[in-house]
Chain A
Amino acid sequence: MRKRWNQLFGLPLLGAFMLCLAPALAGAQEVIGTSYTPDELAKVKDWEKTWVGKKIDKTNIDQVAAFIPESYVGLVKEPEKWGAPPEGNFFTVVAYQPVKETKGFCEATKKYSPTVKKNPDGTIANYKEIAGRPFPEPKDGFEVAYNYEFNNHGDSAKYRRYGPNITPKSRTERLADQEYTEFFFIHRTEKEPLPAVANNPKGQHRAYFLNMYKPAEFLNTRMFSIRYDDPKKEDDAYLWYSQFRRIRRMSTAQRTDSIDGSDLIYDDEYLWDGQLTRNNYTLKGRKDLLCSRHTDMKATTRQDGQGLVNGLTIERCNTFVVDVISKDPNYLYGKRVWYVDPETYIILWTELYDSNGKFWKCFMNNTLPCPTEIGQVKPFIVGTQFQDFQRGHSGLSDQQKFYNPKISIDVPADLFTVGNLQKTF
């Protein structure tokens, strides 16, 4: 009787339950893309048995040197050159964990990635109408770059950046403190309107508002910048310079100008911040690196004048390696090498070469899956380490020093206007 009841009701009920659950499962947070195949993952787990929990410093870095950019190996081996304390520079190894994308981002990827239309030059024809990850399985460098660009940082975000510019030799530093509010007009996946703001006559792609608190002479200096969805159109930017109390239109074309006192140029924000079509991209393959993907910047330590924070947690990640060469033959960098997370498409490491082909800088992004304001978890950049190896100069950015990044927040409609710059803050 019991078996018959099961046959009559049990299986159909289970089926019905699974059918009901299916849409919910389909809408859950997922990992899009894979860092490792099962076989590779098994080898990683095997390696982790030896290394997880271990402190990587100058005594043992040679043993993991294959997984760390050569320049940073040298940085750990010669801590005295980089302003390190007596214990030196060190990382801590943690186990690899896959990183999930938000429900909205996963849904958008499923919805729009099959609809991507390409132009003959490889650009996306329906660029403004889609969202999510356009190429879940990228075949070339340009597709990896598009996946990077479609990361919408949760549609909107607000974070305050503590950013010392450091001269390790003299152990001196000059502090920058800035608060960003960012908003995406297209490629939206988290909050209505999706996938794009309907009333967008100027064709805005992304805008950010920046309030500066330090250095002191920049206190309450504010600016906003707008990027357009037309790749040929330069950004527009306006600055309210508090000392002069004037609103200045800024030229944004000189993207290779360094950002005040730091080792970054304007194109280096997020490790690339420019129109994609300015570069040629070549996918060179994969490289297994120790990357900062689950880093709590609050748990790191650093003394004044130290060029690299101590205690960054690093884990194995099989990154995409993309050579990025500017179409401008006179560009500042001869080449960028991106090491891109295959699950989040955040650039985790980048190596920069000067126009003579000589190695120059290496930057490392520190990321963390952060809770959003709408109950999701979004992988987000919470810190960046900047090293200029030609000049022996450093910098860092910590987005958790003042508060955790606020993601998928409501952004006032008039934030990116000249009128707003003039308000009393």
Chain B
Amino acid sequence: MRKSFIAALCMVAVCACILLCAGRPALASEQFLDGRLEISGFAKETVYYRTSWDKGEEKYHDSRVDFANTSLYFESIYKLKESADMNITWFNGLRYWFEASPSYDDKVHRYMAHDDIQKYQSPRKFEDILTESYLSFVKGPWDMRVGKQIVIWGQLDMQRVADVVNPLDLRLGVPGVDNWEEIKKGLWMIRTSYQSSLPGNLIFENIINPGYFQQQYLPYEGTHWGPPHNQSAFNPKYDTDGIYHWQQSKWTRDAPNGWATDNWELGFRIQGYTWDIDWSVLYWNAKSDNPIADANRAADYGNNYALPNVVGLILDKPAYGKAWKGGDVFRFKRYQTFGGTAQTVIRPWHDSVWRLEWFYALDSPGNLGTDAKSTGVYDRAKNDLLGVAIQWNDKFDIPWWTQAIGTGKFTDISITYYVEYIRNMHEDLIVDTGYNHRRDDPYTQTVSCFLKQEMFNTTWVFVLNANYNLMCQKWFVVPCFTYSFPGEHWRADIGAKFYGGAKNEYVGDGYAHKDSLLFRLRYEF
């Protein structure tokens, strides 16, 4: 505890020094070496104050502030060569964070799995710190990037319909609340694009990942974004690890993270412009970021946790899972995705912008379980998935409001409808948190809304994100106000996030009862 406190204190001191040193008037980014090196980034402190707890969860926290994260992000561009016919640049993205809640909240510290605490509080390996690092060669119509990269394929804000390349790291944030640099895991790859002069200004793009794999990272048990200890542990009054941690840690150990020739990934994309529509089509062949369980081993592995814990529950003693020696339980299977995007402005409809995205995942891996429950996995499955999203985006001049409050700035609204269909769905297909399907229902539909209003000459900005699942009747709403301090660098956010809707045991309900107030202070440079 003492060690953690000192570490937290040191971190705060380092942040303060950085902020104070950078507090002088500066260009948007700092330039060095005659402008060849440019550094930008941000430091931010994010705090969530919980306004609701899941039943019994409160006992496992000393404080309602269950998330206090200091994060730093630096981005640098070094121009190695800049000439009329060729540019070579070296891009680097580095991040560091310190999540302080396990340091000041003894109960969080006690009930989190000990090997999770270190990985949660700060990056433990350089791979976590280095988000991107690539050399970019631009010569005429060719653009080649070699190195670790985050690639965005898609135009929608929050939804990842055609955006299939990089896995997510959801340990500390979610899309829409945090930047992509913070929640996407970079992949080492060679990415080449060619701007042709063919009709439609076609751009051809190719990605080759020779064998670097990163899994999707889920939040840790007992943390703000993760499942509460009392939902995961068989006997939650003891600080033993829960079943969620048992599964998640094995999943991470089984993931083929790092380099192996079998991890190769390949992607193509063509972008074009035809009939006033900007479109793209894509193909992606990769291992899934999320695993499926080996049906022959999953039950035994689960029993290694469950049996000692059932005994412990009966005897009212702390119990620990029995060491597993049966090899890999989780497998990351290869699948293929076809997809595309389109966007255009429809003039007769109030000049609104319309965006369409779709994907068709071929042989998407899954599991079958008794009554479609993950506790009764008995087989693997392969299904084709089709997802389509359509987004309407418009701006409105609202009488009085736009001039008096918006000081001339229109209200920006987007509404996105998303439908997903699982082909040949088996009634026992396990469709949980990621999919929002009801049991044995191949369809799921969501409607999400984004509203933005800049106010008082953009001194204040109000943003509302909301989402409603039509099939499960689940919803969340995230209103947030941002205040820009005078000057160039400081911003403060105050917001809230609320979750609600029908409960359904087959529907992922991971964020229910995580209603919170959000406070964030940012220094951007």
Which residues of A line the B interface, CB within 8 A?
165, 167, 170, 172-175, 177, 213-217, 219-220, 234, 236, 238, 243-254, 256-258, 260-263, 265, 332, 391, 393, 414, 417-420, 422-425
Contacts and interface: CB of A to CB of B under 8 A. Distances in A.
A177 B26 CA distance: 12
Nearest to A166: B457
13 contacts: A213-B28, A215-B484, A216-B489, A217-B524, A238-B278, A247-B278, A251-B345, A252-B345, A258-B407, A258-B409, A258-B410, A332-B408, A417-B201
Contacts of B454: 260-261
Given A245-B180, A419-B193, A251 B353 contact: yes
Nearest to A172: B486
B352 A418 contact: no
Given A174-B484, A257-B410, A217 B136 contact: no
Contacts of B345: 234, 236, 249, 251-253
B157 A244 contact: yes
Nearest to B351: A253
Contact of A391 (B29, B89, B407): B407
A251 B159 CA distance: 21
A214 B487 CA distance: 11
Given A216-B524, A257-B408, A422-B193, A244 B395 contact: no
Contact of B195 (A165, A220, A257, A419): A419
B201 A216 contact: no
Interface stretch (B2-10, B137-145, B248-256, B363-371): B137-145
A256 B403 CA distance: 11
Interface of B: 27-29, 40, 42, 77, 89, 91, 136, 138, 141, 143, 145, 150, 152, 154-157, 179-180, 193, 195, 201, 203, 271, 273, 278, 343-345, 347, 351-353, 355, 393-395, 397, 406-410, 454, 457-459, 484, 486-489, 491, 524-525
Contact of A219 (B273, B344, B524): B524
Contacts of B89: 424
A232 B355 CA distance: 24
Nearest to B346: A251
Contacts of A258: 406-410
A162 to B, nearest CB: 10
Given A249-B344, A257-B395, A424-B77, A177 B195 contact: no
B486 A174 contact: yes
Given A243-B179, A423-B136, A425-B77, A253 B29 contact: no
A385 B394 CA distance: 30
Contacts of A253: 345, 347, 351
A385 to B, nearest CB: 16
Which are the 4 A-B pairs with shortest beta-carbon distances? A258-B408, A261-B458, A216-B524, A253-B351
A249 B353 contact: yes
A150 B277 CA distance: 30
Given A418-B203, A423-B143, A424-B89, A251 B394 contact: yes
A254 B395 contact: yes
Contacts of B278: 238, 247, 249, 418
A417 B201 CA distance: 8
A216 B28 contact: yes
Most buried by B among A217, A246, A249, A252: A249
Nearest to B397: A256
Nearest to A238: B278
A244 B278 CA distance: 18
Nearest to B524: A216
Most buried by B among A175, A216, A258: A216
Contacts of B488: 174-175, 214-216
Contacts of A173: 486-487
B360 to A, nearest CB: 21
A418 B351 contact: no
A64 to B, nearest CB: 31
Given A258-B409, A260-B454, A216 B179 contact: no
Nearest to B410: A257
Contacts of B487: 173-175
A417 B195 contact: yes
B395 A165 contact: no
A254 B195 contact: no
Contact of B491 (A217, A249, A257, A424): A217
Contacts of B136: 423-424
Nearest to B27: A213
Contacts of B355: 249
A219 B203 contact: no
A245 B150 CA distance: 9
A174 B457 contact: yes
Contacts of A245: 150, 152, 180
Contacts of A236: 345
Contact of A393 (B29, B91, B457, B524): B457
Given A234-B351, A418-B201, 19 more contacts: A165-B457, A174-B484, A177-B28, A214-B28, A215-B488, A215-B524, A249-B343, A249-B344, A251-B352, A257-B410, A258-B409, A261-B458, A393-B407, A419-B271, A420-B195, A422-B143, A422-B193, A423-B138, A423-B143
A175 B459 CA distance: 11
Contacts of B42: 216
B28 A219 contact: yes
Contacts of B407: 258, 263, 391, 393
A417 B407 CA distance: 32
A217 B73 CA distance: 13
A141 B210 CA distance: 65
B458 A165 contact: yes
A249 B355 CA distance: 9
B187 to A, nearest CB: 15
A210 B489 CA distance: 21
A181 to B, nearest CB: 15
Nearest to A263: B408
A216 B152 contact: no
Nearest to A249: B343
Contacts of A261: 454, 457-459
A246 B155 contact: yes
Nearest to A419: B195
A356 B280 CA distance: 47
A172 B459 CA distance: 10
B458 to A, nearest CB: 3
Contacts of A254: 351, 395, 397, 410
A173 B485 CA distance: 9
Given A261-B458, A424-B145, A418 B40 contact: no
Most buried by A among B42, B201, B345: B345
A295 to B, nearest CB: 24
Nearest to B145: A424
Contacts of A170: 486
A248 B203 CA distance: 16
